[in-house]
Structure 1
Amino acid sequence: MKLKVALHGTVFQFASLKEVMAKANEEKSGDALAGIAAQDAKERMAAKLVLADLTLADIRNHPLLPPETDEVSRVIEEQLNERIYAELRNWTVAELREYLLRQETDNTEIRRISRGLTSEMAAAAAKLMTNLDLIQAASKMEVQAHCNITIGQKGVLAGRAQPNHPTDNIQGIKASLYEALSYGIGDAVIGINPVIDTAESVKEILHMTKEVMGKWRIPTQNCVLAHVKTQMRAIRQGAPADMVFQSLAGSEDGNKAFGIDVALLDEADELIRRDGTGTGPNLWYFETGQGSELSAEAHHGIDQVTLEARCYGLARKYKPFIVNTVVGFIGPEYLYDAKQVIRAGLEDHFMGKLQQLPMGVDVCYTNHMKADQNDMDNLAVLLAAAGVNYIIGVPMADDCMLNYQSTSYHDIATLREMMGLRPAPEFERWLERMGIMENGRLTPIAGDPSLFM
């Protein structure tokens, strides 16, 4: 494995694949915080040149986190199709990138080769791509999933209704949910982040959302984003959960910091399939975000893009309905400004789709980050062009419980109208029955939550 290159009279010698992968990243404040980033643009380009000439076999044969010591690595290895990998093993990373960008390479071909790729290979390809490359490659990939309805079809942009409330007030959540529905948002999921992580609170919210879905015959799915153990207690006590949720990290130690491991996820998977109310087969909602492993001191010297790709390798085991990278939520320590957030959103969407995950993105930022709502508008448009399965909707793009900025209900409606995108087909038919949408466009009564009062 050659880890040396001469660039404009300077010889760059890298000590390991881990160093090459980190220094080939586009600039990220998290990598700088970890002390693994390229010193300057010249070193970054040298690392990219070295990475481009490495083979996929080089990447697999030099694990950044050995399977013997990390269960996420074991999950990724166990899912690999050895026959397809054997066909690809001598490809260079540059050749993988070129294959994905070729005009004649379609979704069927990408779906097939993805079974022979590890998460680290997906991350390596992303590091060699421009933003436009990431959009072009991802736009070819169609990943459909079904819980109670199907999303992910070409031309569909779904939306998660996120009607959070700072005290978990049921009437407050319901009022915000009615506003979301009036804009045609909620086909991806009605998903609430609870303030109170107890089984009683989770049950109360799940019952309310199910009552609303039943009363108005809404074809969608519900979920409360408490810790998976809390949700499991609620489900065992009879709570009507269509999906189960959990945040993931890309290392075993990172997941321990979340209070989870593969054995617990396996137990939750068995429970939701036995006692959940979703029709399936896709019954999981996972969230991720670049930098979570570093914040838990569980990154093992691995860069945040590669760790994020490994989250998707773990998620793939459970065949989720939706995966969401909460791209700018952790803060400027990991993604410093809008440029880094935009890049990360496009990377995450591409790496997840390449691993055949139904990817959504929370187009978001924290108030102490160098970003504003115009930057989020830009990223939302880019992701819509890239074929993102869904994005998040919160009232006025301001989450009053989590205290961060995202995209609004009417932002999603605007993206659909502007880019010729539609809600999920079953949900659109319901919107038409309610008089909220006609011929793919919102009607004059849209945006009025009193429709449901």
Structure 2
Amino acid sequence: MILKTILAGQTYEFASVKEVLAKANEQKSGDILAGVAAGSDSERIAAKEVLANLLMSDLRNHPAVDYDIDDVTRMDQDGVDEQAYNKIKNMTVGDFREWILDLHTTEQDLKEISKGLTAEMIAGVTKLMSNLDLVYGANKIRIETTCNTTAGSRGIFSTRLQPNHPTDDVEGITASLFEGLSYGCGDMLIGLNPVNDSVASCAEILKRFDQVKNRFEIPTQQCVLAHITTQMEAVRQGAPTDLIFQSIAGSQKGNEAFGFSTQTVREAQELLRMKGTAKGENVLYFETGQGSELSSDAHYGSDQLTMEARCYAFAKQFQPFMVNTVVGFIGPEYLYDSKQVMRAGLEDHFMAKLSGLPMGCDCCYTNHMLADQNDLEALTLLLASAGCNYVIGVPASDDVMLNYQSNAYQDAAAVREILGLKPIREYEIWLEKMGIMENGRLTDRAGDPTIFTGKGGRY
């Protein structure tokens, strides 16, 4: 294993595979903050060259966090399909990139090889790809999952309707919900981020979602994104819940900082399969985001992309219905500007799809970043072209509770029309029945919440 190279007459030598991975990463402010980034573009290129010539087995044999102290590493390593791994273990990382992008490499080929990959292997090949490579490679892969409806099919671009409210006022939430529904949002999920993490508040919102969903016979899923333990208690007390949510990290220490363990997730999954309201087997929802491990000093000296890949290694153990990266939510400390946000969004989507996960994205940014709505919309188009399962929708692109900017309710409709994509089929049929969509396009009634509050519509 050679960890040095000569570039323009200068020798670059790296102390470990972990350092090669970190310095081969595209520039991210979080890596600079952590002290693991390349010191120059030349050093970054040198690290990429070294990485390209490492074997895939080198990456497997050098996980970012030691096996003995981390259950994410243990699950990832122990879950490798050795037969699939043996097919690619002696490839260089550069050759593996070429194989992924090869015209003749099919979706089925990628899904089979995915079973033999660890997070570090996926992170490594991602660092060698251009943005277009990430779009092209991810577009080969579709991951379908079933909760109440089946999501992730080719030709489908879905949305999570996010009717957040600054005080969790149920009537205010409902008003925002009706507006989002009237724009054709919500086929992936009706899901709210609560201000109040109490069981009572969580249950009250879930009950309202359930009332609306049943009153209008909406074929979708519902969830309140409280802490996993809060949601579990709400389910035990009878709150109608299709999915249980949790933000996750790429290390055991990071997950513990979020206040849960692997066993907690297993218990939540079992609880929801017994007492939840979902029809299908996929009953979990995970969110991620580059840099979260650094916030809790749980990154073990690794770069944020590699730790993000490890989030997906954790998530895939539980066959979730949906996963998404909240790509620009943390702020400029970890992703400084629109270039870094766009790159991270494409990286995360590609890595999750290669991991075998049903991946979406919250294309978002905070107001103190060097980014704006044009950047967000460009990322949304790129991700939709890459086969992203879904994006978030909030009123007028402004989340008044989380204080960040995301996609507007109507953005998904524009993207669908441009790229010839559709909502989940059952949801499209429902939209047509409600007069919101016709022949794959929104009607003149779109954006009119009185569809649900006018005569005969009151819940």
TM-score, normalised with respect to structure 1? 0.99
Count the aligned residue pairs. 453
SS at match of 1:311: helix
What is the root-mean-square deviation in Å for CA atoms of aligned residues? 0.6
Higher deviation after alignment, 125-134 or 257-266: 257-266
Q: Distance in 2 between matches of 1:178 and 1:61?
A: 51
- Report the CA distance between 1:405 and its aligned residue: 0.4
Distance 2:269 2:149 in 1: 19
1:148 aligns to what?
Answer: 148
Q: Which moved more, 1:302-311 or 1:103-112?
A: 103-112
Cα distance in 2 for partners of 1:144, 1:324 equals 14
Which residue number corresponds to residue 445 of structure 2?
445
Distance 2:177 2:96 in 1: 43
TM alignment of 1:182-331, pairs within 5 A: 182-331=182-331
Structure 1 CA distance for aligned equivalents of residues 103 and 409 of structure 2 = 34
- Give the match for residue 41 of structure 2: 41
Stretches of structure 2 lacking an aligned partner (at least 5 in a row) = 454-459
User: What is the aligned partner in structure 2 of residue 354 from structure 1?
Assistant: 354
Partner residue of 1:109?
109
Q: What is the 5 A alignment of 1:84-163?
A: 84-163=84-163
In structure 1, C-alpha distance between the alignment counterparts of 2:281 and 2:103, rounded to whole Å: 32
Deviations 1:157-206 (A, max 9, x none): 00000000111111111111111111110011000011100110010000
Return the alpha-carbon distance in structure 2 between the equivalents of residues 83 and 140 of structure 1: 22
Matches within 5 A, 1:408-427: 408-427=408-427
Give 1:391 deviation, angstroms. 0.1
Distance in structure 2 (CA, Å) of the matches to 1:180 and 1:416: 16
In structure 2, C-alpha distance between the alignment counterparts of 1:389 and 1:50, rounded to whole Å: 34
Are positions 1:395 and 2:405 aligned together? no
Question: Which deviates further from its counterpart, 265-274 or 199-208?
Answer: 265-274
2:364 maps to which residue? 364
Unaligned runs of 5+ in 1: none
| In 1, Cα distance between equivalents of 2:383 and 2:70 | 32
The match for 2:407 is 407
Q: CA deviation at 1:95?
A: 1.2
- Matched to 2:191, the amino acid is G
Q: Does 1:64 align with 2:60?
A: no
TM-score scaled by structure 2? Answer: 0.98
The CA distance in 1 between the partners of 2:100 and 2:179, in whole Å, is 40
Shift of 1:77: 1.2
Aligned to 2:44, what secondary structure does the other structure show? Answer: helix
CA distance in 1 between counterparts of 2:142 and 2:412 reads 20
Structure 1 Cα separation of the partners of residues 99 and 84 of structure 2: 15
How far 1:64 sits from its partner (Å)? 2.0
The amino acid that maps onto 1:240 is: P
Cα shift readout 1:211-245 (whole Å, capped 9, x = no counterpart): 00000000000000000000011000001000000
Aligned-pair CA distance for 1:49? 0.3
- Deviations 1:91-146 (Å, cap 9, x if unpaired)? 11111111110111111110000000111111101100000000000011111111
Tell me the alpha carbon deviations over residues 50-73 of structure 1, each in whole angstroms, 9 at most, x when there is no partner. Answer: 000111111111222111111110
Q: Secondary structure of the residue that 1:190 maps to in structure 2?
A: strand
SS in 2 for 1:317: helix
Deviation of 1:86 (Å): 1.3
Mapped to 1, the partners of 2:181 and 2:63 lie a distance apart of: 46
Matched AA of 1:325 = T
Query: Could you tell which deviates more after superposition, 40-49 or 440-449?
Result: 440-449
Three-state SS of the structure 2 residue aligned to 1:223 is strand
| Cα separation, 2, equivalents of 1:317 and 1:387 | 22
Q: Which residue of 1 aligns with 2:456?
A: none
Secondary structure of 1:409 counterpart? coil
| Separation of aligned partners in 1, 2:392 and 2:292 | 20
Aligned counterparts of 2:262 and 2:236: Cα–Cα separation in 1: 20
Q: What letter corresponds to residue 400 of structure 1 in structure 2?
A: V
Deviates more, 1:341-350 or 1:252-261: 252-261
Counterpart of 1:142, as a letter, is R
Aligned to 1:382: 382
Give me the whole-angstrom Cα distance separating, in 1, the residues matched to 2:129 and 2:193: 34
State, as a whole percentage, how many aligned pairs show the same letter.
58
Further displaced range: 235-244 or 265-274: 265-274
Tell me the equivalent position of 2:13. 13
Post-superposition shift, 1:308?
0.3
**CA deviation after TM superposition for structure 1 residue 443, in Å:** 1.0
Residue 54 of structure 2 is matched in structure 1 by: 54
Q: What CA distance in whole angstroms lies between the structure 2 residues aligned with 1:115 and 1:197?
A: 37
Give the corresponding residue for 2:457.
none
Determine the structure 2 residue equivalent to 1:22: 22
AA partner of residue 287 (structure 2):
E
TM superposition shift of 1:78: 2.1
* Inter-partner Cα distance in structure 2 for 1:262 and 1:78: 15
> Which stretch has the larger CA shift, 112-121 or 62-71?
62-71
Instruction: Give 1:286 shift.
Output: 0.3
1:246-305 C-alpha deviation (Å, 9 max, x unpaired):
000001111111001111111111111111111121111100000000011111101000
Secondary structure of the residue aligned to 1:313 is helix
- Three-state SS of the structure 2 residue aligned to 1:277 is coil
Would you identify which runs of 4 or more consecutive aligned residues in structure 1 move more than 4 Å?
Answer: none
Deviates more, 1:74-83 or 1:341-350: 74-83
SS at match of 2:450: helix
User: Which one-letter code corresponds to 1:270 in the other structure?
Assistant: E
Q: What is the rounded CA distance, in whole Å, between the counterparts of 2:199 and 2:372 in structure 1?
A: 36
1:23 CA displacement: 0.1
1:378-402 deviation per Cα after TM superposition (whole angstroms, max 9, x unaligned)? 1011111111000000000000000
1:32 aligns with 2:32: yes
Once residues 226 and 61 of structure 1 are traced to their aligned partners in structure 2, the CA distance between those partners, rounded to angstroms, is 37
Secondary structure of the equivalent of 2:410? helix
